[in-house]
C-alpha cells in the first residue's frame, strides 16, 4: 500500500506486517482530525468535502454507504482508485479534486514531512485545504452527525451503546478477522482468525434470526460497518482468504439481511463484485502467486429478502 517517510513516498511489499507468532497486525490510522466545527459550517455543502476511495476497499465502502443512504453525493465528491495498486500505491485515472495520479500526492499535502501509510478512505476538506481523517470508523460517525437533516439518523442516542457493542465485536471477529485469517503466516494464526470469523457470524445469525437489523428494526451505523464484509465474503474472503468453513449464503437470516441492505436505494451502486475478485485475487507471493482470478461463484443478490426494504423503519433525522 506504500508508505510516506518524512514526506517522501516509498513503495513497499503490499503484504501487511505480522507479529512474531505469524498473526496479522493492522497499522493504526494516522490522520485523525474531525469535520469542521459547527461554527465554521457556513461553507458546508456542495463540494466542501472530497473522498478518496477504492471500490475494493471495505473500509472505504463503509463511508460510501453513509454517503449513499444519507443522499450526500452532491455534497461529497469521490475519486475512485483503479482496482489494483501499483508501485505508486492507489492510483487514479480521474481525480476531480486535485488532478493527481497517485494517492500519495494527496497525502503529501497533509503536512510537510508527513509519515504514515497511504490508505483509503481519506476525506479532504476542500474549503480549509486539510486532510480530515483516514479512519473509516470516525468518518462514518462524523458524516452522519454533520448532516443531521439528511437521510436517516444512523446513531440514535438510545441505540449508541448497542451500536458500539456490535461495532467492537464485529470489527475484532469479522471485519478484521478475515484479514487475520487471510494474512496469517502460520497455521495456528490462520486457524485462530478463521474460527473467530465464524464464531462472530454465528452470533450475528442468532441476532438476525430475531431482528431485521442488528439493533432492532432500525438501520444503523453498525449495519453499514458490517455490510462491506458480507458483500465480499463469498466472492473473495471464502476463497482468497481461506475463510471457507461456511459461506454467507449458508446463514439464512444473515444472507436475507445482506440482500435487504443491498436493496436499499443507492446501496447497490456502492458494490462491485467483479472488482472485489480482481483485487483480492491479485498476484501475491503468499496467497495467489499466479494471480488467477476465479470465474465464480455466481450469486444472485437481487433475490427478494424475507422482509421488504420499505417495511423496515429508518430512524428519523
Of the residues 9, 49, 52, 57, only one is catalytic, namely 57
Closest by alpha carbon to 204, among 245, 231, 169, 246? 169
Helix (H) / strand (E) element for 130: namely strand 130-133
Of the residues 80, 92, 107, 179, only one is catalytic, namely 179
The CA distance from 282 to 82, in Å, is 13
C-alpha angle 117-110-54 in degrees, rounded to nearest 5: 50
Q: How many CA atoms lie within 13 A of 121 on its CB side?
A: 28
User: In the chain, which ranges are continuous DSSP H helix?
Assistant: 58-69, 103-107, 136-146, 160-170, 177-182, 187-208, 221-232, 238-240, 252-262, 273-280
In contact, 67 and 78? CB cutoff 8 Å: yes
Tell me if residue 57 is catalytic: yes
Cα of 19 vs its chain's centroid, Å:
24
Q: Is the peptide bond before 121 cis (omega within 30 degrees of 0)?
A: yes
Catalytic residues: 57, 179
Amino acid at each position: 500500500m506504500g508508505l510516506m517517510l518524512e514526506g517522501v513516498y516509498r513503495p513497499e511489499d503490499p503484504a501487511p506486517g505480522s507479529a512474531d507468532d505469524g498473526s496479522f497486525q493492522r497499522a493504526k490510522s494516522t490522520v485523525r482530525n474531525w469535520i469542521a466545527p459547527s461554527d465554521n459550517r457556513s461553507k458546508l455543502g456542495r463540494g466542501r468535502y472530497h473522498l478518496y476511495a477504492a471500490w475494493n476497499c471495505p473500509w472505504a465502502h463503509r463511508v460510501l454507504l453513509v454517503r449513499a443512504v444519507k443522499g450526500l453525493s452532491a455534497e461529497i465528491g469521490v475519486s475512485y482508485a483503479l482496482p489494483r495498486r501499483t508501485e505508486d500505491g492507489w492510483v487514479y485515472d480521474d481525480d476531480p479534486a486535485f488532478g493527481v495520479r497517485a494517492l500519495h500526492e494527496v497525502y503529501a499535502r497533509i503536512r510537510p514531512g508527513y509519515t504514515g501509510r497511504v490508505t483509503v478512505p481519506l476525506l479532504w476538506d476542500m474549503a480549509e485545504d486539510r486532510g480530515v481523517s483516514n479512519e473509516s470508523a470516525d468518518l462514518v460517525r462524523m458524516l452522519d452527525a454533520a448532516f443531521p437533516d439528511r437521510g436517516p439518523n444512523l446513531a440514535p442516542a438510545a441505540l449508541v451503546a448497542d451500536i458500539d457493542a456490535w461495532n467492537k465485536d464485529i470489527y475484532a471477529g469479522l471485519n478484521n478477522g478475515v484479514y487475520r485469517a487471510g494474512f496469517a503466516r502460520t497455521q495456528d494464526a490462520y486457524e485462530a482468525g478463521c474460527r473467530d470469523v465464524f464464531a462472530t457470524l454465528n452470533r450475528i445469525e442468532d441476532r438476525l434470526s430475531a431482528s431485521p437489523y442488528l439493533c432492532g428494526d432500525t438501520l444503523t451505523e453498525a449495519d453499514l460497518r458490517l455490510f462491506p464484509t458480507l458483500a465480499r465474503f463469498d466472492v473473495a474472503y471464502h476463497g482468497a482468504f481461506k475463510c471457507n468453513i461456511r459461506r454467507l449464503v449458508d446463514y439464512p437470516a444473515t444472507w436475507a439481511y445482506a440482500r435487504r441492505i443491498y436493496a436499499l436505494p443507492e446501496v447497490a451502486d456502492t458494490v462491485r463484485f467483479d472488482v472485489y475478485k480482481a483485487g483480492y485475487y491479485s498476484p501475491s507471493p503468499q496467497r495467489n502467486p499466479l494471480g488467477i482470478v476465479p470465474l465464480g461463484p455466481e450469486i444472485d443478490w437481487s433475490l427478494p429478502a424475507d422482509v421488504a426494504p420499505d417495511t423496515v423503519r429508518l430512524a428519523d433525522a
